[in-house]
Amino acid sequence: MARPVDEKKSEAILDAAAALFADKGLQARMEEIAQLAGVSKQTVYNRFASKLEIAEALAKKRVEDVTAPLKVDGPPEAVLEALAFTLLNRVCAADKVGSMRGVALVSVEAPEIARAIYAAGPRRSLEARSRPGWRNRRVRAG
């Protein structure tokens, strides 16, 4: 019988990977990620087979966080206001420079990871914003 996945460990792995990618790019080793996350190296590999999978998971998580307001039904004004606050919080976040540095470092060394990050991140975000029905919503002038 398989053990249930401990989501706290997965989050710790992603947080550690984000910090190390920002600092070292792909030079960060899976062993370092495990150590910073406080888990075994095997635990990292049980959840993510490669740095590519970690990068994809980080990008997907970021997109889910940013686009969450777009998934809520409600008046367009409220949805757009929530989206604006979410984006503003991301832009002003303390880790934004490190996060962008990490993507830049990874992009040079492994273009396939950069493509995966784009596919999991910005492209998904654009697709979410252009889903049917969103364009037809009208914002009434107050």
Is 43 inside any structural domain? yes
Compute CA 80 distance to the chain's CA centroid, rounded to the nearest angstrom. 21
Is 142 inside any structural domain? no
Closest to 43 in 3D by CA, of 78, 15, 16, 5: 5
Is 136 inside any structural domain? no
Is 137 inside any structural domain? no
Tally of domains within the chain: 1
Is 124 inside any structural domain? yes
Please name the residue ranges forming H helices in 1-142: 7-24, 30-37, 41-47, 51-67, 76-91, 96-109, 111-118, 124-129
Domain that holds residue 99: 7-129
**CA distances, 127 to each of 66, 100, 101, 116, 131 (Å):** 13, 21, 25, 15, 6
Is 2 inside any structural domain? no
Torsion of CA 75, 93, 22, 60, to 10 degrees: -10
Q: What is the CATH number of the domain that holds 116?
A: 1.10.357.10
Per-residue pLDDT of the chain (142 residues; tens, 9 = 90+): 556 667 899 999 999 998 898 888 778 899 999 999 999 999 999 999 998 888 888 878 877 877 788 777 888 888 888 888 887 887 776 665 555 556 666 666 667 767 766 776 667 666 766 666 554 444 444 4
Is 17 inside any structural domain? yes
DSSP for 59-96 reads: HHHHHHHHHGGGGS-S-HHHHHHHHHHHHHHHHT-TTH
Contact yes or no for 82/72 (Cβ under 8 A): yes
